[in-house]
Amino acid sequence: MGDFVRLETTDGIGTIRLERPPMNALNTQVQEELRAAAQAAEQDPDVRAVIVYGGEKVFAAGADITEFTTTSYQDMTVRAAALSSAFDAIARIPKPVVAAITGYALGGGCELALACDWRVVADDAKLGQPEIKLGLIPGAGGTQRLARLVGPARAKDLIFSGRMVDADEALRIGLADRVAPAAQVYETAVELVRPYLNGPALALRAAKLAVDGGLSMDLAAGLAWESQLFAGLFATDDRVEGTTAFVQKRKPKFTGR
């Protein structure tokens, strides 16, 4: 796929692998390769779910700070939107997406994990948004997605302090969804998405669009958005199969159409 990011597909699971040792620093090239991998995963019908994985030692320890030392305000006004949208490309994959986190998920690494639907965290992992210690704030979705996930007060605590949280605290506050031994993180992520591999792909897509899109709307608009997506599924083969199988008391065989 690229020098530092590649997409591998096995048995319906597309794994977006970061491979920029030693810490998977998310420089501009990695950001753009993540965007390309997300678009490829979205467009490939053989990919039914996605795992974002940094390997056995580290997920991603943040942005490549060496780039920031020579980046001017004028430079970043041009680059900031592209940085955010590269991570947003992960969030917009219309399929179940889980981050499999080992080692560190800090700064941009934490923001990348926040762009996923779920986070499986190694029992010795550390997560956080330490940008404040550089005189910065999270710039790739951290202030927005973290607050929506764990609430504004907890998000402010993590962002204002720049402190790291361990796996137990991450699970307690909702930043992690499952905790596993480091050697089992990837397999735990596989088990999390396995139930969706033969599910109704268009309904799963609609469900994700409904939840994520509704978060940016008021209740009335969100309900209208949900109704539109709900009605649209009545044009799918999977709706016919699902309802017919229910009436016939058998297991449905979804085709993703």
DSSP label at residue 132: G
- 129 has pLDDT over 80: yes
Instruction: Indicate which residue of 62, 103, 108, 199 is catalytic.
Output: 108
Alpha carbons 98 and 101: distance in angstroms, whole number: 9
Give the tens place of pLDDT for each residue, 18-67: 999 999 999 999 999 999 999 999 999 999 999 999 999 999 988 778 88
Average pLDDT of the residues in 202-230: 96
| 131 among known catalytic residues | yes
Catalytic (active site) residue 141: no
Q: Cα separation of 156 and 147, whole Å? A: 8
Catalytic residue among 131, 139, 142, 180: 131
Q: What is the pLDDT of residue 80?
A: 87
User: Among this protein's residues, is 111 annotated catalytic?
Assistant: yes
Residue-level pLDDT at 78: 84
Q: Which of 37, 61, 63, 201 is catalytic?
A: 63
Write out pLDDT tens, residues 155-195: 999 999 999 999 999 999 999 999 999 999 999 999 999 99
Q: Is 36 annotated as catalytic?
A: no
Q: Alpha-carbon distance 38 to 9, whole Å?
A: 13
User: Measured between alpha carbons, how far is 166 from 177 in angstroms, rounded to an integer?
Assistant: 13
* CA pair distance 35, 90, nearest whole angstrom: 7
- Of residues 111, 115, 201, 206, which has the active-site annotation? 111
Residues 6+ apart with CB under 8 A from 157: 163
